[in-house]
A and B are shown apart, each in its own frame.
Chain A
């Protein structure tokens, strides 16, 4: 047991899935040639003014309602002032003192099935900056302002997480939620979903938090986990060798797997926040908030609870199956075909299907194996046409050539033998061929039961119904 306790808070930046920018009509497609999605407003030309995109407000409210937060009926955009070439106006518009979403919470479920509530301090709207480009520009810096003015929802958690695993579980939960709400595409490679992690350590039992370091711009769950673990170890080593943790901003280097200092607290900018006089406060009425509430989809937690109680699944399995709206829908499509086998269906979706998808780096929504096909396989297991073991072989064929379960079973003659007299006949042959083992068994070597099962399965090409086989074999051996 370590003498140190880790304290983690996350600031997640979710890019809102609007068609146009937060304050201008420019498109927000990823990957367009530099500066082709930047108009005069995005370029911060003299005289231009921002006009708030109404969609981003609706999206922020959706998120707030989904985490049970208070929706501020009065929120204010401030200017965060600093100079940087990819910040065209010399300030970033960001909600500061009065954010639109206040005090919510999310429940996470850990792998061991235990749960924990993580507080969401606030979520506020802001604009993204552009990008500085160095590649292929020796001695120069290029500026791409396509991303400037892209709407972001910054989701700030309480420092409630106590391990990298908890932090990842929370981040995944937020990731699931924003995609359910269809307010963010969740694409982490493209930077649509990323986070800053505030990490500190303190002696177990200590009341005060330790000095924190902020690790910037983590854009994968794996990096979050690794960066936090590295940082925790670094801070503990530092403290144990008599040093002190400095309050600073750090960067994670995924190649070296370490964090390194970017700037200290003393070097931090004085952002001179003040309310943006070009933008009116965002005033919302209850009718609008209720309207957004009515449009909310079934949320991940609600869906997981329904899966657990309705389909008799464990909380963890229900959580896995509801991790994305697409996966949950797929599962329900399977269950609709085999309503008596929700658990079996869950095992197949989370097991073979998930593994196959993962191997080819595919999403369930890619339609590689339609739900009806998988349901066809589950149905054949359910009606004992094939055993679970044979089913794996069938699945592989279905996956590779797109055939149905029945086609594979027929073509390969994999139908399970459920005729008791047929099974009995094979058992008799096996016993006759192995008199030695039979004698040993009867003299008390119980372990040999498995040997006989194996021999019968081998003789039937694995098609003997396992339960019937067990039954008959036991009777004959004991008889």
Chain B
């Protein structure tokens, strides 16, 4: 039974249903792997072993009674910004180190209802601000492929956990690439759905107009199964969209013949590392062999996406994080002298450097006299980027390109220069600004580090994006490679 972790989620769900193993055995196996990995990878902030085993017993009873849901007994990990009732929800921040959520996020509640069992909460960049998981109050997460390297961020804990098979799947969120970039750097499959596809209720906000919950898994099929259970309209989220959720699993087996793939010219630029590009080009040849028709597509406004993002996201974050004031929940400084002191020290002590940098940037761009020059202009450029994408999708079915310019970089390599760090999201931010579904799938290695291929589709084309990813995974085995120490 020691190879349970080598199975996909779909296989695990089938095995549970066939009673080939129990949920308790499965959960115990993963909990052991998590415990064993913590000192090295630090992928988890909280491990909910007791409740997981209790839930597993209940799941086994349900399975025995034949009353199982689609995910009954299957373990899952949640990024630590999804609120989980009765469990600390820290957002990787000292600010919320003491915060035990009184409610479940909609995503968490839906996955619970489908039968999934929570193993714990994964590490992340503080308030999802970062691309390396180095801004976490709980320390950096290490890349399972090379522990000197970052796993990417902000969903670094979720990506590392799936890569090291500490959980078959994990929830994650993506504001500027926080699902796809760590998926690429850790060699796993990640999908960020269309903005509005998955409820944001209970997902602690970073930048409300960009945040979107999604999945990290080892295969597109597993991602499809979990996304099917997560997605859908939520009356508690005004920005969630009331569009029926197709059965992503049933829609996976689409033939690729004639699929029109646009290669994003702007992504194959001089910033793209040569060997990474080689992996991407080889992956594209696989698609050609499957019948896809490749053409180059240009999105002239796309190079502006990083500056636009670093105006819009900090602006929203500066306001979203105002509620952390030491008054009702979260960190409160000791012995405040007066109200100003309470605010200054609670926030000063509770937030880390990157979060403060973004709050200050956001406060600045929204200030009287600067609002038009920064925030309004950024919103206008955002419209142009959106229009570029819509125009591109008139001639192609999906867009492809690299997820990141390079494979994983060394821990500490970019922490001194925030702008270099920000440029790591250069290929992923566009899909957030336009609200498009986008996936990253493993497509090769450079010096033992994974490379990710990014697939972007039109709004609400998750089924197509997942099917395109799935077709690649039927023909290749990059996604089933496991880091040596976690095989």
Contacts and interface: CB of A to CB of B under 8 A. Distances in A.
Interface of A: 40, 43-52, 79, 81, 83, 85, 88-91, 141, 143, 270, 272-274, 277-280
B375 A278 contact: no
B96 interface: yes
A89 B319 CA distance: 8
Chain A, interface SS category: loop
Interface size range of chain B in the complex? 35 or more
Given A46-B91, A46-B96, A50-B238, A143 B327 contact: yes
B230 interface: no
B83 A46 contact: yes
Interface stretch (B7-15, B61-69, B198-206, B446-454): B198-206
A40 B322 CA distance: 16
Contacts of A44: 323, 328
Given A51-B235, A51-B236, A277 B208 contact: yes
A91 B327 contact: no
B174 to A, nearest CB: 16
Interface stretch (B50-58, B362-370, B394-402): B362-370
B238 A278 contact: yes
A50 B83 CA distance: 16
Interface string B315-347: 110110111110111100000000100010000
Contacts of A280: 238-239
Contact of B202 (A48, A88, A90, A273): A48
A272 B319 contact: yes
A46 B102 CA distance: 10
Given A40-B103, A47-B105, A272-B366, A83 B343 contact: yes
A20 to B, nearest CB: 14
B323 A46 contact: yes
B203 A43 contact: no
Interface in B297-330: 315-316, 318-319, 321-325, 327-330
B238 A52 contact: yes
Given A81-B322, A90-B325, A277 B316 contact: yes
Contacts of A49: 200-201, 236-239
Contact of B339 (A52, A85, A270, A274): A85
B89 interface: yes
Contacts of B321: 90
8 contacts: A40-B102, A46-B101, A46-B330, A51-B238, A270-B367, A273-B371, A274-B375, A278-B238
Contacts of B415: none
Contacts of B105: 47
Contacts of B366: 81, 272-274
B239 A278 contact: yes
A21 to B, nearest CB: 14
A228 B155 CA distance: 58
Given A49-B200, A81-B318, A277-B207, 9 more contacts: A43-B328, A47-B202, A81-B322, A85-B325, A89-B323, A90-B323, A272-B318, A274-B366, A278-B205
A48 B201 contact: yes
A218 B315 CA distance: 35
Given A83-B325, A88-B328, A274 B319 contact: yes
A47 B367 CA distance: 25
B322 A85 contact: no
B209 interface: yes
Nearest to B342: A85
Contacts of A40: 102-103
A279 B200 CA distance: 12
Contacts of A273: 366, 371
B233 interface: no
B204 A46 contact: yes
A48 B329 CA distance: 14
B422 interface: no
Nearest to A41: B236
A143 B339 CA distance: 13
A418 B321 CA distance: 84
Contacts of B83: 46-47
Given A40-B102, A44-B328, A46-B204, A79 B238 contact: no
Contacts of B409: none
Contact of A89 (B102, B236, B322, B371): B322
Nearest to B103: A40
A141 B102 CA distance: 25
B329 to A, nearest CB: 7
B99 interface: yes
Q: Which 9 A-B pairs have the closest CB atoms?
A: A90-B322, A272-B366, A277-B209, A277-B208, A47-B202, A44-B323, A46-B204, A47-B83, A47-B204
Most chain B CB within a 10 A radius of its CB, from A43, A46, A50, A91: A46
A141 B207 CA distance: 32
Given A85-B327, A89-B322, A277-B208, A46 B89 contact: yes
A327 to B, nearest CB: 41
A277 B208 CA distance: 6
A276 to B, nearest CB: 8
B74 to A, nearest CB: 24
Nearest to A143: B327
A48 B375 CA distance: 24
A88 B327 CA distance: 8
A47 B89 CA distance: 10
Contacts of A90: 319, 321-323, 325
Contacts of A85: 325, 327, 339
B331 to A, nearest CB: 12
Contacts of A51: 235-238
